[in-house]
Structure 1
Amino acid sequence: MSKELYEQYSIVRETFEEASDTLHMDMRQLCFDREEEEKLHKLEYSKPALVCSGIACYRVFAEETGLQPAATMGYSLGEYTALCCAGVISFKDTLEIVHKRALIINETTAGTEGTMAWVINLDCRKVEEICSEALSEGIVIYVSAVDAPAKTSISGTMASIQKVASRLEDSGGMVIPIPMSGPFHSLFMKEAADLLRGILDQYSFSKPRWEVVANWNALPYPDEIGSIKDNLSLQLIHPVRWRNSIEYLLTAGIDSVVELGPKTVLTYLTAINTDRLKSYSVDKPADVVTVRQALLLEQNDYLRVLKHSLAAVAATKNHNADMTNYVSAVSEPYQQIKGLYHDCNHQQRELTTPQIHDVLRTVNSILTAKGLPEDERIRRMRKVLCYKSLVY
């Protein structure tokens, strides 16, 4: 996990060393040595390793792009990584909490004979309906994740899953056992959730630097510190509402997502939920280059931004009745941008980053002066930027 990033970036090596010192386990050996692979079948090793890898990837992403996310979210354990990236939990505390969480889960599920299964090719609402009916009949079964419209997970005992599997298959679904799993994100985890809350009370938390979307309700964490402990405890006994979390990102106006860490499971889940989000993943140095090119404006984009700026202003209807203000706030700045575009286009002059920043500020000011509503102004500015970001 993250071996190529480890070899290329010092920040990754420092992250692995910090994790090793915190938990007194060799994180490099655990993640890269084939002889250690068996350990990754145990939660107390796999969970900290995943967090370490995810944080290392995020630190590379932040260092190499300079971008700050509009929001972060993670699947199940990944929610801890999302909180850590947002500054809610220190890296050291995150590692300690997820390690203790894994030990608690091991202890409380040891005698439950609980497990999980995927249900695919069946509408998630139908899965929830069948599981609810079965539960009312005394068959202890729960929906434990809603990943996509036709991809759900269920938790229960081996016997209860087998009983409900026939009903799900009769309705057109396919039931696939998840190997080496416990009955996560269900009421089987009530004892673990209570014990986890006691662990969380031992740590301090900060307000998030940006929105973090919670698994259990698909909503951003409130600013109250107490809600962090509540959400992380509730996460253990409620389904992961990943489909709803994707829907929240869309309503928040987000148009691109980056998966940070090994494999591309979340990129796949994004694709089967919507075609309105551009998805990228970072687990190798080449991925960093791809993401930079996709999300960051480069100098060869600047002339196109200038052209889009003129088009945005020209295409925006004027709602400013004050002609004196219109001339000074719209007409004159527009002519300046037009002159700059002519010089660059015809005289082969290269635009500088400070110039592009000035142009963007001017265009935003012009659109405001024309009376364009804020949400539409933001949408048009994103188009001007070619749906990329400019870091300066």
Structure 2
Amino acid sequence: GQQMNSSTGKTNGTGCFILIGIVLLGVFIHGLVRYFSDKPLYEEAHTAFLQGDCDTAEPVYNEIIQKVHIFDFGKIKANSKVESSYCDEFTFATNSQLMFIYDFTIEHPENPLIEFVDDEAAQLLESIGETEEYVTVLNNDACINEIELVKAGLLVEENALLLYKLNCAKFQLWYGESDSAFKFLEEILEEYPQHSVAKQLNESFKNDTVFCSLTQQMSESSVFNKDVNNLANIFLDCAENYTKQNEFGLAAKVYDSFLINFPEHPDVESVNLLLPDLLIKAARASGSGTIERPNESGWAPEGIARVVIQNDSPHDLRIVFSGPDARIEIIPACETCMDYYAVGPIYCPEQGPIGTFDLTPGEFEVLVETTNEEDVVPFTGTWDFPGGKAFYSCFFIVTTTVY
């Protein structure tokens, strides 16, 4: 009985070894099959990886990683995990912000994809185009870290450097740093005047108002004053584009500055005709009060409407007429007059300086405002002046308490 038992035990043990061997052989064969099926996939992903193309490589890496690899021949799965991890770091860094790319160069110097950061930075800057994506791309102090970005190899291409400067000018304006914004513009035009980005900048002066808030700095800049005619055109284009946007106050401000800076320019006369209408539209847009036409006070020569206005306030008054004539007149302050509180006088005090204006008869849009006090509400009206008559009015200031 004992021999029989001994023989049966040997038979069972041999069968176990055979079974294990078969399983191992199956696993080995499975590993080989997996290796030969995954090898071309990995090579495809690895080739894309070496070119910095993680968009192509990542899905393939994920396909390999998700498969079961009992034996990882050639370390295909392990290498896929490592390179996929490199891609994750690289993709996150290059997705939205220039400073994320910079941080990537500092925090992951061992990542082989670091050689592609300059291309990615350039593509990110080019992607901004005419949009307002510069707010996102240049967030986190990118525009005050130019030296560090250059040292990190992110602005190697000249085109990338200039797009950086152009969009930083926009970003700094958006952020309220106009002097810093203007410095970027000067650097582009002074150091790279023939570059396509400089030409793009000059086109933007003609077509939009992005940099029009910097016209005062432009008028004081030696870089912009190298071509005075071009500078004058920037002012005119800015005012025209502001007008198209119904930004009448900004348009008037630029035209005012134009008249001061370019008094001999051939377009001065046409600007003088445009400015009164813009000032009146700006006042109405700001919430002006309404003022009626002055009363008739006498006769005037035939073909003339004579308007007499007395300034009974301690403020300089600007009187603007837009109609058959375009006039902007200043009546100086009355040195002996005062502002009234809550209630004004019943009759004109008749103490202040007088302005007499002979106009072509017809209908006028009119603005009366102080020249310097922003808290004084302007008044506008539509006044019809027949010829041969005179009209008189006085103006004084009544203040009220605003709760």
Range of TM-score over shorter length: under 0.3
Q: Could you state the TM-score of these two structures normalised by the residue count of structure 2?
A: 0.24
Higher-Rg structure is: 2
Structure with the higher strand share, 1 or 2: 2
Higher helix share: 1
